[in-house]
Amino acid sequence: MNIWRGRHTFMAPFHRGFGAMGGMVDVSGKPDVPRRAVASGELVLQRHTIEAIRAGTIEKGEVLESAKVAALHAAKRVSDALPYTHPIPITATTPRLEVKDDRLVVTVEVKATYKTGVEMEALYACAVALLTAWDMVKKHEKDEGGQYPFARIQNIRVLEKEKG
């Protein structure tokens, strides 16, 4: 159901009713404490694509370095993409990429001293790094019909989360 509010129209959820849309959690009463999270994920690719990454012959450029830069940018922009997250003053982001025989493994560690955790920053940075790598190699992964029968992003998850 569309709801008109002055100059703005938004969608109200049917099952919760008007005014039950929620919002950001109030963390103003929480103390700032050291936070750390590590997330990981994989991009499964064909062997010839992995060989092209290792050889540095991907037309769009250096896949591993580009994915690392994308992770750094993404970790700092989570609250722009995920509306219920808080803008967090990140103190460190460390993306690592490992090339295996049939996949790229991305691991991202994020640190901050703040009132709320950084697991969404680590997950988002990991996902954006994987998407960046896919975008750079997609030419090599398409079949004759333009589909991606082999490439897939999988196993994105939080490996570690620390507070204090």
Chain mean position to CA 1: 31
Q: Is 78 helix (H, G, I), strand (E, B) or coil?
A: helix
Quote the CA–CA distance of 144 and 122 in Å, as a whole number: 35
- CA distances (Å), origin 69, targets 14, 28, 50, 114, 149: 40, 31, 20, 24, 27
Q: Active-site residue numbers?
A: 135
Q: Could you say which DSSP state residue 30 is in?
A: S
Which tokens go with 5? 């509010």
